[in-house]
Amino acid sequence: MRHLAIAIALLCAFDASAEQLTPDERATLRNACGADIREHCAGILPGGGRLARCIRETSVRFSPDCKTTMSTIAASRPQQQQ
C-alpha cells in the first residue's frame, strides 16, 4: 500500500493522472524513485498532499534515473482537462 501511495504522490507532484497508472508504471516509479523518496522525504506520511509536496520541493535532488522516469511517465499520461 505504501508503494502505491509513493507512485500516486510522484505523479500528483507532477500533475499526471495517477489513477491511470498501470501496474508496470507503478513498479517502474517505485524502482526508480523509491530510494530518493526515502532519503529526501523520510518521516513524511502520505495523505493530505504532504508526500506530493515533499517530492515537489526536493525533486531537484533526486537521481537522474528517477527524474527521467517521472518525466517519461508523466509525458505519456493524457492531459487533464481544466
Query: Does the residue 81 lie in any domain?
Result: no
How many domains are there within the chain? 1
Query: Does the residue 82 lie in any domain?
Result: no
Rg (CA), the chain: 11
For residue 31, what pLDDT band results from cuts at 50, 70 and 90? Answer: very high
pLDDT of 80 above 60: no
Query: Does the residue 63 lie in any domain?
Result: yes
pLDDT of 57 above 60: yes
Nearest CA-CA partner of 73 in 26, 6, 34: 26
Query: Does the residue 48 lie in any domain?
Result: yes
Query: Does the residue 55 lie in any domain?
Result: yes
Query: Does the residue 54 lie in any domain?
Result: yes
The whole domain housing 56 covers 2-76
Burial class (CB in 10 A: 0-12, 13-18, 19+), 48: exposed
pLDDT, position 49? 82
Query: Does the residue 7 lie in any domain?
Result: yes
For residue 23, what pLDDT band results from cuts at 50, 70 and 90? Answer: confident
